[in-house]
């Protein structure tokens, strides 16, 4: 398995009809960029999906409401403060962020989407946010997207983006996405923050369905620490500047488009897990032979989130006993005498016992930057995969 962890800045490009900016508004004391704005020149079709956490941030609640109209002109984002667990004052702050941005852009307030990421429980400094909005609205440009991808970062060590070019109705279409996220990552329906933009024209219901399908097989497959955030948000804007006939499943290029959207989402999800707090490795856990897909997912997540499995990878230990232990305590049905486990191309476990592969061979695989643990439960046809990362001392240091 190989994963491109780093985003090449030369490939980053906004689809036609979009502008963006990223600035230091002063929310973070360090002075790094902490506010981003994405603007569509025209009313874009919007899709979105959000955290399934019962405790959810004010901007998530506002986005859910604004998404009812399925139309969007702008996404205003701040990092540093999550605006979660902030009650009515926090809700008012999110609404004010939308209203102030809408007023300066001269667009309807319900077409401005608000995202926040950072510390939970603090109120947004609205004076700082207000002057930031004053500063960022006139700053949006096509090149400003380079600043925007930086401004949404928190503990991320690098910006995460992906730009794909396809053809729809013979016209060039761009699908571009950006994301942030490194900790508190086990997305339920979305991950921390991700924005996917396209100049394709797409019907609203089709875009929403397409986004949900893509997110299910990308962001929802990664887990850094098993902690599902209060702020997870994926928003998708389709501006239509490409001039194609609006896409829907009936369109002959639908598959090309939905594949592109999935590939962008998957690429961003891999960049998130590849930049997991303190992590140095990406490990795909594949489970097959479970009673059904849901049980396969439960088994894969038990392995992916086991502290003992994740710490064993740090020093390249092929400690498959811990993988067996995690499978056994998962709520998925497991018969230990049937379990086979491979590490990349090498068998590690056959029938629940050591396969005879040498520890040295397995150690070489676990030393790789990316590898796959393939588990066959031999009970049924259920399959699932989840992407995890190692848990290093650095993870502890980042979060204490």
Q: Is 301 in the site for a copy of itself (CB under 8 A)?
A: no
Q: Which of 42, 142, 294, 396 binds a copy of itself (CB under 8 A)?
A: 396
For residues 252 and 329, which CB has a smaller minimum distance to a copy of itself in the complex?
329
Strands 171-180 and 160-168: what pairing? Answer: antiparallel
DSSP H or E segment with residue 3: none
Q: Is 30 in the site for a copy of itself (CB under 8 A)?
A: no
Give the shortest CB-76-to-a copy of itself separation in angstroms: 22
Strands 233-238 and 193-198: what pairing? Answer: parallel
For residues 335 and 369, which CB has a smaller minimum distance to a copy of itself in the complex?
335
Spatial CB neighbours of 398, under 8 Å, sequence gap ≥ 6: 155, 183, 277, 278
Q: Is 111 in the site for a copy of itself (CB under 8 A)?
A: no
Q: Is 227 in the site for a copy of itself (CB under 8 A)?
A: yes
Q: Is 106 in the site for a copy of itself (CB under 8 A)?
A: no
- The CA dihedral of 249, 253, 258, 264, to the nearest 10 degrees, is -160
DSSP characters over 202-255: B-HHHHHHHHHHHHHTTGGGB-SSS---S--EEEEEE--TT-PPPB-TTSTTHH
Give the shortest CB-86-to-a copy of itself separation in angstroms: 6
CA distance 321 to 14: 47
Which is catalytic among the residues 51, 117, 174, 191? Answer: 191
What part of residues 165-204 is at the interface with a copy of itself (CB under 8 A)? Answer: 183-184, 186, 188
CA distance 297 to 283: 15
Q: Is 314 in the site for a copy of itself (CB under 8 A)?
A: yes
Q: Residue 149 in contact with residue 181, Cβ under 8 Å?
A: no
Give the shortest CB-60-to-a copy of itself separation in angstroms: 11
324 phi/psi in degrees, rounded to 5: -60, -45
For residues 40 and 319, which CB has a smaller minimum distance to a copy of itself in the complex?
319
Q: Would you tell me how many other CB atoms lie within 10 Å of the CB of residue 126?
A: 14
- Among 188, 21, 154, CA closest to 81: 154
Q: Which of 83, 101, 117, 229 binds a copy of itself (CB under 8 A)?
A: 229
Q: What is the CA radius of gyration of the chain?
A: 22
Q: Which of 325, 344, 361, 385 binds a copy of itself (CB under 8 A)?
A: 325
Q: Which of 32, 120, 256, 338 binds a copy of itself (CB under 8 A)?
A: 120
Q: How many residues does the chain have?
A: 400
Q: Is 312 in the site for a copy of itself (CB under 8 A)?
A: yes
DSSP H or E segment with residue 349: strand 346-350
Known catalytic residue at 191: yes
Q: Is 138 in the site for a copy of itself (CB under 8 A)?
A: no
Does residue 310 sit in helix, strand or coil? helix
Give the shortest CB-59-to-a copy of itself separation in angstroms: 15
How big is the site for a copy of itself, counted in residues (CB under 8 A)?
63
H helical segments located in the chain: 58-67, 87-105, 126-136, 145-151, 204-216, 254-274, 293-305, 307-312, 320-329, 359-366, 393-399
For residues 142 and 354, which CB has a smaller minimum distance to a copy of itself in the complex?
354
Give the shortest CB-45-to-a copy of itself separation in angstroms: 30
Q: Is 273 in the site for a copy of itself (CB under 8 A)?
A: no
For residues 31 and 400, which CB has a smaller minimum distance to a copy of itself in the complex?
400
> Can you name the residues that pair with 283 across neighbouring β-strands?
371, 388
Q: Which of 6, 11, 103, 119 binds a copy of itself (CB under 8 A)?
A: 119
Q: Is 327 in the site for a copy of itself (CB under 8 A)?
A: yes
Q: Residue 188 in contact with residue 303, Cβ under 8 Å?
A: no
Q: Is 322 in the site for a copy of itself (CB under 8 A)?
A: yes
What part of residues 373-392 is at the interface with a copy of itself (CB under 8 A)? Answer: 391-392
Q: Which residues bind a copy of itself (CB under 8 A)?
A: 52-56, 82, 84-87, 119-122, 183-184, 186, 188, 225-230, 305-308, 311-315, 317, 319-322, 324-329, 333-337, 339, 349, 351-354, 391-393, 395-397, 399-400
Active site residues per annotation: 191
């Amino acid at each position: 398995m190989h994963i491109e962890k780093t985003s090449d800045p030369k490939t980053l490009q906004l689809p036609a009809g979009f502008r963006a900016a990223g600035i230091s508004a002063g929310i973070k004391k360090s002075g790094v960029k902490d506010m981003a704005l994405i603007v569509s020149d025209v009313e874009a079709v919007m899709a979105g999906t959000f955290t399934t956490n019962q405790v959810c941030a004010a901007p998530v609640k506002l986005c859910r409401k604004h998404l009812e109209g399925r139309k969007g002109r702008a996404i205003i984002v701040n990092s540093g403060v999550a605006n979660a667990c902030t009650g009515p004052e926090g809700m008012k702050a999110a609404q004010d962020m939308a209203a102030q941005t809408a007023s300066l852009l001269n667009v309807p307030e319900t077409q401005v989407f608000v995202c926040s990421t950072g510390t939970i429980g603090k109120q947004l400094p609205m004076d700082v946010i207000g002057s930031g909005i004053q500063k960022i609205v006139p700053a949006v440009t096509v090149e400003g997207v380079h600043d925007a991808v930086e401004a949404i970062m928190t503990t991320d060590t690098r910006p995460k983006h992906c730009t794909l070019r396809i053809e729809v109705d013979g016209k060039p279409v761009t699908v571009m996405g950006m994301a942030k996220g490194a900790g508190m990552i086990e997305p339920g329906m979305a991950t921390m923050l991700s924005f996917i933009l396209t100049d394709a024209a797409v019907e609203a219901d089709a875009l929403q369905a397409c986004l949900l399908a893509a997110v299910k097989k990308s962001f929802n497959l990664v887990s850094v620490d098993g902690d599902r955030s209060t702020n997870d948000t994926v928003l998708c804007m389709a501006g239509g500047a490409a001039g194609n006939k609006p896409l829907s499943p009936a369109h002959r290029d639908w598959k090309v488009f939905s594949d592109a959207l999935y590939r962008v989402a998957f690429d961003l999800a891999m960049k998130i897990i590849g930049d997991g707090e303190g992590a140095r490795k990406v490990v795909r856990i594949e489970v097959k032979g479970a009673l059904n897909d849901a049980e396969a997912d439960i088994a894969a997540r038990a392995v992916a989130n086991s502290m003992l499995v994740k710490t064993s990878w740090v020093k390249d230990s092929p400690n498959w006993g811990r993988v067996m232990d995690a499978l056994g305590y998962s709520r998925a049905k497991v018969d230990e005498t049937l379990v086979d486990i491979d590490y990349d191309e090498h068998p590690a476990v056959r029938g629940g016992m050591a396969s005879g592969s040498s520890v040295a061979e397995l150690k070489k695989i676990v030393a790789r930057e990316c590898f796959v643990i393939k588990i066959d439960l031999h009970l049924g046809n259920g399959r699932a995969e989840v992407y995890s990362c190692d848990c290093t001392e650095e993870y502890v240091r980042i979060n204490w």
